[in-house]
Structure 1
Amino acid sequence: MIFLYGLTVLAGIANAIQPGQNATLSKSLGLPITAGLITLLISSSLLLAGGLALGKLEVPTGQQLSAVPWWAWFGGFFSVLLILAQLYASPSIGAASFLGIIVTVGVVCSIGLDHFGWVGFPVHPASIWRMAGAVLMIAGVALVALF
């Protein structure tokens, strides 16, 4: 379990660094969509290499493909939205505001996802404490963005 928390911490660090990297790639090339495609190609190549190296890469069967809920296929769409936001919004609003908004909106949205058990998450009720935490996060992001 500690490995999963460590992986999550590393993902948080990456989440703070990646918008600047992607925006710089975009600015240096002068081609934002090409920069986004390069980012996704590098990600895909690393997943391919890692999957092959670990022996975890397999072609799904027809039965496995048909068992996937319709909404689960749209994860790549949301990855593109995140990369586009990194390319266009993060350079203008700054790293702290960008990441603060991304994380806070994610937490607020996640409280709803947990409460209703949507998109595969187990039900975790939206208690007053969870909602108070979300309100505090919103206030915190407002302070970061304003000052």
Structure 2
Amino acid sequence: MLPITIGIAIGIIVSFQTAVNSRLRHFIGSPYQASFVSFAIGTFFLGAMTLATQHTLLVAPHLIATQPWWLWIGGLLGVIFLTANILLFPHIGAVQTAIMPILGQVVMGSIIDNFGWFHADRQPLTLTKVIGLLLALAGILITVALPDLLRRREHRQLATEKTAGNPLIWRLIGVFTGALGATQTTINGRLGLVLHSAVHAAFISFLIGTIGLLVIVLIVNHGFKEVRRATGHGKPWWLWIGGVLGAIFVLGNAYLAPIIGTGQTVVFALLGQITGGLLVDQLGLLGAQRKPVIPVQLLGLVVLISGVVLIRLF
């Protein structure tokens, strides 16, 4: 029961992080600079936790020499996942930008568990688990996508959002980046086992991700001048906690993946993320625009929970 609680809790936390980072990006203007700020703060937070628990930030040289190369790329996968989501929006619209990576996460998480990739413990798929996964995906679609379609029909806007480029290619990219997100969860979990510390693993992941974002910002924005826009009188203090919330999410994933598998970790976190997102929308938390929850979203949540129960209990 504790792993389920942790998985849902970190999902709720990351939904709050999304709201915070969205507000930070509103002030800064550049999504890449906002993401860098968030990653950098998360790195300092996890660095402090690592020093407090492990008394060092370094990794033993023999581990770097003897462990597989992919053990160290979790942070880069996180940056690719984050950057791709920013790039997807103008090509496939808001709803598909949310849905396609989720599809990739759930499918890849199940594949990793079934075949034991990246040194994960094998958890073979059963018919009941497959049904549970399909229910979970259906619940996500009902909760996230269906309300938007209903609103468009109500306003007679049945045409899709204006997009650029071939949408099929961008949809596939969305699914692929979601798969990278699930892979990152597995890799960070394995790194935590190797280092005997999920905190240390999360720190390394965030540090590498921060370096990757630094390179992107220097290439795209040529500096950090816009960051000052988020400082000064009238700016809420919580603009700067997104990195801490994201760090807790990555830490929770690194802790859970070796215990319950990548697939279940992803699904439980998604349940928490969608629940938290509905809460943020309903109450207009953290500067978000209020969007009252409609009955069909609650129905989708029930379907999602039903899928989670099948996945976990059977």
- TM-score between the two structures when normalised by the length of structure 1: 0.79
Aligned partner of 2:74 in structure 1 is: 75
What is the CA distance between 1:136 and its match in structure 2?
1.2
CA contact (8 A) 1:115 1:124 kept: yes
> Any idea what SS the aligned residue of 2:56 has?
coil
CA deviation string 1:34-88 (max 9, x = no partner): 1111111011000111112224434222211112212222201122134336656
> Any idea what SS the aligned residue of 1:93 has?
helix
Aligned partner of 2:19 in structure 1 is: 20
Aligned partner of 1:146 in structure 2 is: 146
Residues 15/85 of structure 1: CA separation in 2 closer, same or farther (3 Å cut): farther
1:69-108 equivalences in 2 (<5 Å): 69-84=68-83, 93=94, 98=98, 105-108=104-107
Q: Report the count of equivalent residues.
A: 142
Aligned partner of 2:129 in structure 1 is: 130
- Alpha-carbon distance in 2 for matches of 1:35, 1:124: 38
AA at the equivalent of 1:108: V
What is the CA distance between 1:6 and its match in structure 2?
4.8
- Alpha-carbon distance in 2 for matches of 1:49, 1:109: 32
Matched, 1:66 2:65: yes
Residues 129/56 of structure 1: CA separation in 2 closer, same or farther (3 Å cut): farther
AA at the equivalent of 1:51: T
| Matched-pair identity in % | 25
Aligned partner of 2:52 in structure 1 is: 53
CA contact (8 A) 1:101 1:141 kept: no
AA at the equivalent of 1:79: G
Task: Please say which of residues 45-54 and 102-111 is displaced more in the overlay.
Answer: 102-111
AA at the equivalent of 1:146: L
Residues 88/142 of structure 1: CA separation in 2 closer, same or farther (3 Å cut): same
Task: Please say which of residues 105-114 and 34-43 is displaced more in the overlay.
Answer: 105-114
CA deviation string 1:6-30 (max 9, x = no partner): 5434312112222222222112110
AA at the equivalent of 2:46: L
What is the CA distance between 1:131 and its match in structure 2?
1.2
CA contact (8 A) 1:114 1:121 kept: yes
CA contact (8 A) 1:36 1:87 kept: no
Q: Which runs of 5 or more structure 1 residues have no equivalent in the other structure? A: none
Higher relative CO (CA 8 A, sep ≥ 6), structure 1 or 2? 2
CA contact (8 A) 1:116 1:123 kept: yes
Residues 56/9 of structure 1: CA separation in 2 closer, same or farther (3 Å cut): farther
- Alpha-carbon distance in 2 for matches of 1:22, 1:133: 32
Residues 142/55 of structure 1: CA separation in 2 closer, same or farther (3 Å cut): closer
Residues 20/106 of structure 1: CA separation in 2 closer, same or farther (3 Å cut): same
Matched, 1:42 2:44: no
